[in-house]
Structure 1
Amino acid sequence: MIQCKRVYAEASSEDGYRVLVDRLWPRGIKKTDLACDEWCKTLTPSNELRKAFHSEAIDFDAFSQAYREELAQHQDEGLRLAERAKKQTVTLLYGAKNTQQNHALVLADWLRHLKIS
């Protein structure tokens, strides 16, 4: 199972394997204080795409499409996380305030639809 959670929410035993999926370290959190198993920068949006979305130069639909195109270039890394999610819960941690439209949700959907052989 793959789920998403704000990095500022309290860690839970139900989170399973916790992966930070932000390119930048979240504000206000010390590296020693964040309960996460890995920081996966490979599957984060590029700086250009991230900045375009946050400055509202592109809308969420355009962002999602462009981000999926970027993710397609990192299929191996995605398969690694998707494979782990078959065995245990994987929680994607993100810092965005918007819980309805953010890159972690796009990433989670992309991971769920990867073809694992």
Structure 2
Amino acid sequence: MTVRVRRVYDPVEDDGGRRVLVDRLWPRGLSRSKARIDEWCKDVAPSTELREWYGHDPDRYDEFANRYRSELDDPVRAAALSELRELAGNGTLTLLTATKDFAISQAAVLAELLED
């Protein structure tokens, strides 16, 4: 199983496998045809409240990751995470986000969970 995290704005990699957008909001300035995603799994995204609290502040990342993991226990999010697990079990999975620093995004948290 290979799980990658990339920005949705970056060029598509030939060996990227299934490309799944994991943001709740559609990326600004990007058409659906240019995005070249296979799925949009917005149900796995963090709540609006958590996303706004976090604001991609690197100092809040650890607390964000803990709170987000707790949110993933919600039945709808848990089902979406289960779908991602299934996709990851079938080959390379690339989790896409519009976040500038994807290393401290929900996609990074998801990748860590999927690889465990």
Q: What TM-score results when the alignment is normalised by the length of structure 2?
A: 0.88
Change (3 A) 1:31 1:75: same
Q: How does 1:90-101 map to 2 (within 5 A)?
A: 90-101=93-104
Counterpart in 1 of 2:108?
A: 105
Residues 88 and 114, structure 2, Cα contact 8 Å, conserved in 1: no
Going by fraction, where is helix more abundant, 1 or 2? 2
Counterpart in 1 of 2:32?
A: 31
The amino acid across from 1:20 in the alignment is: L
Gaps in structure 1 of 5+ consecutive residues: none
Q: What TM-score results when the alignment is normalised by the length of structure 1?
A: 0.87
What is the CA-CA distance between 1:49 and the residue it aligns to? Answer: 0.4
Matched, 1:43 2:44: yes
What is the CA-CA distance between 1:3 and the residue it aligns to? Answer: 0.8
Counterpart in 2 of 1:13?
A: 14
Residues 44 and 78, structure 2, Cα contact 8 Å, conserved in 1: no
Partner of 1:4, secondary structure, is strand
Deviations 1:38-94 (A, max 9, x none): 1001110100000001175x8111110000011122323212211221221110000
Identity of aligned residues (%): 39
Q: In the comparison of the two structures, how many residue pairs are matched? A: 112
The amino acid across from 1:3 in the alignment is: R
Residues 56 and 104, structure 2, Cα contact 8 Å, conserved in 1: no
Q: What is the RMSD of the two structures over their aligned residues, measured on CA atoms?
A: 1.6
